[in-house]
Structure 1
């Protein structure tokens, strides 16, 4: 009788917990991907930058994309805006404080289909030692295809906007005409090419 109950409970667990058994494992191909951002500068223009080092593990369940998962790690010291002095300031304690917080991470919690090729990926972003919920608006993923060397590839684009102050990035400087040097809203955009493990 005891064995029957255990088998029954095990069978229930299979149906109660979403399974990743049908999900394929992919990694981000860094050589063909980018993690960029833009932020308002002096209230007149946008400054753009990117992070040169990042990695990601993605589980994609094509039968039910809601069962998919995304984990991304970004090296904050790899920030690059094309201006060495500005990049050094961004790495300092005024902004990313890379000595204390060398990475930012995104871990998905829920995937929601909102269109034929559109998803919302809900997850937790950890930046500057602070973890807060964010939502990525995703276009894709594309269908898988083989590259000229026989590797399976697929791609996706994602974008989200955060308020940097929510993550403790509060440095700013007032300007004479009114306003501040750096905007609060930061748009983060990812263009990723995925490689099947």
Structure 2
């Protein structure tokens, strides 16, 4: 009888230059926050092209000087969207990773916006694994919806937000690239 040992997961580390976060609120307000000026760290464990474990942390500077489209990204800098006056950072630090099946995973962690921290559960999905220029890369997406009121962000009126009425939720979409 031949005994085979299970293959240990391979640890893939986040590439901060190739990672980014999209913050989106209902009614056409979208802010793309590039990874080049923000801090991303973490890893995923991959075995047989499936995520076995993950630990992810990021800190976003929402007053990032790379924001170039004032008419698109300007509303993000108002207190109605994300409070940037006293607390210009959004941060997330994972606490646990739960694998349901190859396509459904949940990442629980501490999300801080407006100096308020809440435990949130975000969906996590391994999108693709490919080889590029001799290096293996894994593309991972984390998505979740949060209520602005949970983070003491003000609700706005049409006049307060420069004619843009925002819905009660903000959607976070983190596109993360990992390399082995």
Q: TM-score range by the shorter chain?
A: 0.7 to 0.9
Supply the distance in 1 between the matched residues of 2:77 and 2:138 (Cα, whole angstroms). 32
Alignment partner, residue 62 of structure 1:
46
Which residue pairs with 1:16 in the alignment?
Answer: none
Alignment correspondent of 1:49: 31
Q: Distance in 1 between matches of 2:70 and 2:151?
A: 24
Q: By how many angstroms is 1:47 displaced? A: 2.8
TM-score (norm 1): 0.68
**Corresponding position: 1:35 with 2:21:** yes
Q: CA deviation at 1:155?
A: 0.9
Q: Assess, with a 3 A threshold, how the Cα gap between structure 1 residues 92 and 79 changes in structure 2: closer, same or farther.
A: farther
Answer 1 or 2: which has greater helix percent. 1
RMSD: 3.1
**Aligned-partner Cα distance in 2 for 1:74–1:83:** 18
| Preserved contact between residue 79 and residue 153 of structure 2 (Cα < 8 Å) | no
Aligned length in residues:
165
Which runs of no fewer than 5 residues in structure 1 stay unpaired? 1-20
Residue 140, structure 1, aligned to residue 122, structure 2? no
Taking the aligned partners of 1:23 and 1:101, their CA distance within structure 2 comes to 37
Residues 104-123 of structure 1: pairs in structure 2 closer than 5 A: 104-123=90-109
Q: Greater Rg, structure 1 or structure 2?
A: 1
C-alpha contact (below 8 Å) 1:138/1:158 kept by paired residues: yes
| 1:47/1:81 CA distance change after superposition, 3 Å | farther
Distance of 2:73 and 2:21 partners within structure 1:
16
Residue 78 of structure 1, CA deviation: 3.0
Question: Structure 2: 5+ residue runs without aligned partners?
Answer: 1-7
Partner of 1:14: none
Name whichever structure is richer in strand by fraction.
2
TM alignment of 1:7-26, pairs within 5 A: 24-26=11-13
What is the aligned counterpart of 2:157 among 170, 173, 179? Answer: 173
